[in-house]
A and B are shown apart, each in its own frame.
Chain A
Amino acid sequence: MSGNMNLTLKVWRQKDVKTPGKMVTYPAKDISPDMSFLEMLDVVNEGLIHKGEDPIYFDHDCREGICGSCSLYINGRPHGPKQGITSCQLHMRSFYDGQTIIIEPWRAAAFPVVKDLATDRSAFDRIQHAGGFVSINTGGVPDANEIPIPKPIADEAFNSATCIQCGACVAACKNASAMLFVSAKVSQLALLPQGQPERYQRVQSMVAQMDEEGFGNCTNTAACEAECPKEIKLTNIARMNGDFFTAKFFKSDEVHA
């Protein structure tokens, strides 16, 4: 078909976490500009399977930018050259015929490589386990409209809650800091009345777990904000820091009940 492109891919291949990886070059031929980036990889993989070679592994699922699985570092940027989208929403018309595309996994000590382009992001889940919730059981809760919430507050909490836990913020950060991710959850619940009873305990527990997982600290470069596919704002980090230091005014047994 006219308008189709021939590209050169340089892809990070790594068998597992213990085996050293390397960049491998593959041609991607006759690529339609209407393909998504992941569909381009599908085509390359089908070709590899036909040749009896091991296909390139990458995490993906919903392919509409919401599940947070896909996590490709494309030409030096998390989720590629466009802003406000995930790798799966990137289309090949953002590239040109003859281009070389470098594809790597997220690079962070806290995200060890699982295989090829997929990393282990379970550290994020463990941070959520540490406090990313309101401690209520099913049933016995008040009627939904008994908790009025001003619209601007609800909207702001929603903005924080749109985080898809993809890890682009960590990949973008020179310190591999997870502050944007952690602060998004902390902020959502700190803004809402439902989150108040555990507000200061939560921020302490989640930050402690974040540190334990080996993520770096924040030096306000704001690369995370620039690369976040959901455009989560840096103000979340400021809010988290505020709560984190406020929590220091409490006795520790009041915070860690």
Chain B
Amino acid sequence: MELNPKLPEGPLAEKWNKQKFNLKLVNPSNKRKYNVIIVGTGLAGASAAASLAELGYNVTAFCFHDSPRRAHSIAAQGGINAAKNYQNDGDSIYRLFYDTIKGGDYRAREANVYRLAEVSVNIIDQCVAQGVPFAREYGGLLDNRSFGGAQVSRTFYARGQTGQQLLLGAYSALNRQINLGKVKMYTRTEMLDVVVADGKAQGIVTRNLRTGAIETHAAHAVLLCTGGYSNVFYLSTNAIGSNVTAAWRAHKRGAYFANPCFTQIHPTCIPVSGDHQSKLTLMSESLRNDGRVWAPKTVATAEKLRKGEIKVIDIKEEDRDYFLERKYPSFGNLVPRDVASRNAKEVSDEGRGVGASGKAVYLDFADAIKRLSEDTVRAKYGNLFDMYYQITDENPYKQPMRIYPAVHYTMGGLWVDYNLMTSIPGCYALGEANFSDHGANRLGASALMQGLADGYFVIPYTVGDYLATIGPKPVDPNHPAFAQTKKDVEVRVAKFLSMKNGNKTVNEYHRDLGHIMWEYCGMARNEAGLIKAKGLIQALKEDFWKNALVMGGNEEINFSLERAGRVADFIELGELMIDDALMRRESCGGHFREESQTEEGEAKRDDENFSFVAAWEYTGENQPEKLNKEDLIFENVKLTQRSYK
């Protein structure tokens, strides 16, 4: 199939307006004849469900949680960008567009990113009107802060809980539509497949997580708003339940998976404390504004420290290596996420890491406390320091924090055109589940913006075009594709449930997969490592299907079964990520390809050969996936190489 992003013609600033005019409309009295399925109720899903129901469509929404409000968008801390220019500091739609496309290291579509910047201003208006309690100035107007190294203050926030407040806003809009009977909400229900009938997505197959009932649901369009796949690394800042299954099942039914190896690693997370660790906790990157990152200068000192022979406060100034300040004198501790992360890992790999595991470096506030006073530091970062204390039992006012990078966000995802439609007609992907707006690296405070842009302001227009084209004729739930897809799911569930003689739990396989991905397909990769990882994953997959142990039966709550399905999909995704990373022989955005670096050892992008979106096409079980390329054309921005020296 030819990859057509369906980008509108004309100047950048007019594209979206033009598109909105050219998209077909559904007659108001016809809207109630259409059913739309929405899977996932995070920012993208809840906002889309509410907005489409308001327009008059019949919406059926699904989440695997016990309540739609528990989606992982709720955990986002920092903020949401919008080009409001309320601070009169020179921001504009064009500047937000430019920063975002540059931040993504020129691997996103200009038109998509410009539209994102354009609708960012509407998002803030919408959320405020819903009663989202954003931070305010004493004069009663909205407060902004600069975030993630941006030169302008365009980030709106609600203390350290912006994601929570935005999601509760979308959840309230969703609740209103549930109350009005326009949204039928299924909780504790997991999507296990997409029904593709006559070449179009016409429904899904779900499993009721309480009763085990496997059911089909028919609709004119299916929207996947199912988040990212960071948990392929086992340990990440994602929630335990976050998974790739919905997206992966769609992929195996014909939706291309784009740029899977584009993942974001966040430098300031609380390090792993042992094998029992189930997830990692992010500490806001604002900490790097005042904290200084360092590690012991020598391996010998680090070893003594790890054995408990010396204490961190005993290490003299001259025995400390403030490696970010040393290597990047002009940006220092404020280098971008990928640079900070990679350097922390390098230092730890050299044997200079700290903490019991040796997988951590220090983030030290002693100088900031001296300069500003403990009270000022407390006022700025008190909640983060408390959180750190809670988890580690170490007082960061008295000794430096230990930090280590962790996987945080995935820029890759289902390939979508400008209208957010995947390569399966009628199947859409919104929010982190798609690949579209962040290129090879996402800027801080942009994830919330994209999720809500897709749900509130893009899909209500674009889905109408498709629906108007196919017409309001009811979907036939007796089409053989429904029974067939349901049967496929039942066979798969039965296969898992037959795995009773294995000797390894599903969770143990997941952890093994995570180790492979982190070691060979994390922030730095090379060809030899990736080839090795591919072999390891293939072996893991084979072993999983032979030796994994799955408990219980279908007609009950069975998280062993739920996890088995998710881990099996993660293993397959992991292999595709390795293929994608192998193919992309350039350093770009969050990824350092060791074969592609400057003489100074910094990331080197290769625009000549890799200025494209890699959209992978599933070709069959255990067959290599087919690479489709969508060339990225830059008409408005000049491609430059990043430098932080």
Contacts and interface: CB of A to CB of B under 8 A. Distances in A.
Interface string B384-395: 000000111100
A90 to B, nearest CB: 9
A96 to B, nearest CB: 15
B560 A55 contact: yes
A68 B165 contact: no
B173 A138 contact: yes
Interface stretch (B98-106, B131-139, B329-337, B531-539): B131-139
Nearest to A93: B393
B172 A133 contact: yes
B140 interface: yes
B70 interface: yes
Q: Which 10 A-B pairs have the closest CB atoms?
A: A148-B140, A141-B129, A133-B172, A158-B133, A144-B128, A138-B51, A61-B239, A133-B176, A62-B239, A129-B179
A145 B141 contact: yes
Interface of A: 15-16, 32-36, 38-40, 42-43, 46, 49-50, 52, 54-55, 57, 59-64, 66-69, 85, 89, 91, 93, 114-115, 118, 120-122, 124-125, 128-139, 141-145, 147-151, 154-155, 157-158, 161-162, 164-165, 188-189, 192, 194-195
A134 B393 contact: no
A204 B273 CA distance: 49
Given A62-B72, A145-B86, A194-B129, A125 B54 contact: no
21 contacts: A32-B274, A32-B276, A33-B393, A46-B508, A55-B560, A61-B70, A62-B75, A63-B278, A66-B164, A89-B390, A118-B66, A134-B129, A139-B126, A144-B84, A144-B124, A144-B127, A148-B140, A149-B140, A155-B136, A157-B133, A161-B168
Contacts of A192: 131, 133
Given A138-B126, A145-B86, A132 B273 contact: no
Q: By CB atoms of chain A within 10 A, which of B47, B51, B126, B138 has the most?
A: B126
Given A32-B274, A38-B278, A138-B126, A165 B72 contact: no
Contact of B175 (A49, A133, A148, A194): A133
A108 to B, nearest CB: 15
Contacts of B277: 39
Among A34, A128, A164, residue most surrounded by chain B Cβ atoms (within 10 Å): A128
Interface stretch (B418-426, B549-557, B637-645): B549-557
B557 A154 contact: no
B130 A136 contact: yes
B136 A50 contact: no
Nearest to A17: B210
Contacts of B84: 144-145
B136 A149 contact: yes
B58 interface: no
A189 B133 CA distance: 10
A121 B51 contact: no
Given A63-B279, A66-B161, A138 B457 contact: yes
A147 B457 CA distance: 21
Contact of B456 (A138, A142, A155, A157): A138
A132 B172 contact: yes
Contacts of A64: 75, 279, 281
Contacts of A69: 65-66, 70
A34 B355 CA distance: 13
A68 B66 CA distance: 10
B597 interface: no
Contacts of A85: 390
A190 to B, nearest CB: 10
Contacts of A57: 557, 559
Given A49-B560, A130-B179, A120 B66 contact: yes
Given A136-B173, A154-B133, A162-B164, 15 more contacts: A32-B273, A46-B505, A50-B549, A62-B240, A67-B75, A114-B66, A120-B66, A132-B175, A138-B47, A144-B84, A148-B140, A154-B134, A154-B136, A155-B133, A158-B158
Interface centre among B172, B178, B460 (most CB of A within 10 A): B172
B422 to A, nearest CB: 23
Interface string B172-196: 1101101100000101000000000
Contacts of A52: 551
Contacts of A145: 84, 86, 141-142
* Residue in B50, B129, B185, B552 with the greatest tally of chain A CB atoms within 10 Å: B129
A32 B611 CA distance: 48
B199 interface: no
Contacts of A66: 74-75, 161, 164
Contacts of A55: 551, 559-560
Nearest to A141: B129
A46 B137 CA distance: 50
A91 B393 contact: yes
Interface in B475-528: 505, 507-508
Contacts of A143: 125
B75 A144 contact: no
Contacts of B187: 122, 125
B72 A67 contact: yes
B165 A161 contact: yes
A114 B209 CA distance: 11
A166 B305 CA distance: 41
Given A138-B457, A158-B159, A161-B168, A67 B179 contact: no
A48 to B, nearest CB: 8
A208 to B, nearest CB: 13
A105 B179 CA distance: 29
B488 to A, nearest CB: 27
Contacts of A164: 164
B128 A61 contact: no
Nearest to B279: A63
A122 B448 CA distance: 26
A224 B65 CA distance: 24
A52 B560 CA distance: 11
Interface string B322-364: 0000000000000000000000000000000000000000000
